[in-house]
Amino acid sequence: MPELPEVETVKREISPYVKGKIIRDVKIIDARVIKGISPREFKKKLTGDTILNVERRAKYLSFKLKSGKYLVIHLGMTGRLLFSPDKYVKVIFKLSGNKTLYYSDLRLFGKVKLYNHYPILKLGPEPLSKEFTPRLLKELLSKRKTNIKSLLLDQRFLSGLGNIYASESLFCAGIDPRRKANTLKDYEIKNLNREIKKVLTKALAHKGTSFSWFVDAEGKKGGFQLKLMVYRKEGKPCPRCKTPIKRIIQSNRGTYYCPRCQK
């Protein structure tokens, strides 16, 4: 489900409601989502602690706790943080002020983990940060021989992009997803850098993309699925030149692109 814009949307929605709240109780419905420690330990360590704030890094949400610990949640493909339960609730956090936060996850690719200290995650730069410049992108690309699409999905290279926004950014930049990373020209790198920022910013303004799974904490869908150019549009006309959109497989993931517009 969730890439940077979706995770950021969840963060913005839940922050005001969970900040300053005490975790009164933790109920674990399915222990498979809890990583690193036993469900008993998890519940014991968390109960009574206070949530100071919520941050997003890449596709991770981290809850900073008063004790100095960090509760880190990755939504995987179908993870949700909700204020009302759905069919697939796996963990229940009872908070002070009569608020309950539900972690729901159909496919169980998500992760809930408790760190004793600030988590060190092996992640590339944030695409919406000032640090992510054409110059930095050029530097990162220069060492890599793999295709540009797969590289954009690699979180150690650049963090926050997923399958939707990788395809969309490459379309907007007019770059063929099969191109070897180190063969991109300077002007293409500049375009790609700009389009990544543009696509993510726009998606964020629409509160993310919702096909079937993504909803925010209030259960509301995003709106960016109406703005997609190529993603999941195989056979449909390219919005720019009307050539049918193609779907290919790269690193076991579907890639959508226009064979005419993307060189």
Partner DNA sequence: ACCTAAACCTGGGCGC
Partner DNA sequence: TGCGCCCAGGTTTAGG
Residues with catalytic annotation? 2-3, 59, 253
CB of 20 to DNA, least distance (A): 28
Nearer to DNA, 193 or 209 (CB): 209
From 45-53, 64-72, 124-132, 138-146, span contacting DNA (CB under 7 A): 138-146
Nearer to DNA, 16 or 120 (CB): 120
Q: Is 1 exposed, middle or buried (0-12, 13-18, 19+ CB in 10 A)?
A: buried
Site residues for DNA, 88-107, by CB under 7 A, read 106-107
Instruction: With CA atoms as reference, report the closest residue to 151 among 130, 170, 134.
Output: 170
Rounded CA separation 32/77 (Å): 15
Binds DNA by CB under 7 A, chosen from 62, 193, 210, 262: 210
Pairing of β 51-57 and β 60-65: antiparallel
CB of 252 to DNA, least distance (A): 5
Q: Which tokens sit at 242?
A: 């009307």
- Tell me if 164 contacts DNA by CB under 7 A: yes
DSSP state of 226: G
Yes or no: say if 159 and 196 are a contact pair by the CB < 8 Å rule.
no
Q: How many CB atoms lie within 10 A of CB 160?
A: 26
- Tell me if 202 contacts DNA by CB under 7 A: no
- Tell me if 233 contacts DNA by CB under 7 A: no
Binds DNA by CB under 7 A, chosen from 25, 31, 32, 40: 32
Provide the CA 239 distance to its chain's centre, in angstroms: 26
Q: Which tokens sit at 186?
A: 């300077």
For the chain, what is the radius of gyration of the CA atoms? 20
Q: Which tokens sit at 35?
A: 């990583």
- Tell me if 193 contacts DNA by CB under 7 A: no
From 1-9, 47-55, 61-69, 89-97, span contacting DNA (CB under 7 A): 1-9
Residues that bind DNA (CB under 7 A): 1-3, 6, 32, 58-59, 74, 76-78, 106-109, 143-147, 150, 153, 155, 162-164, 181, 208-214, 222, 225, 232, 247, 251-254
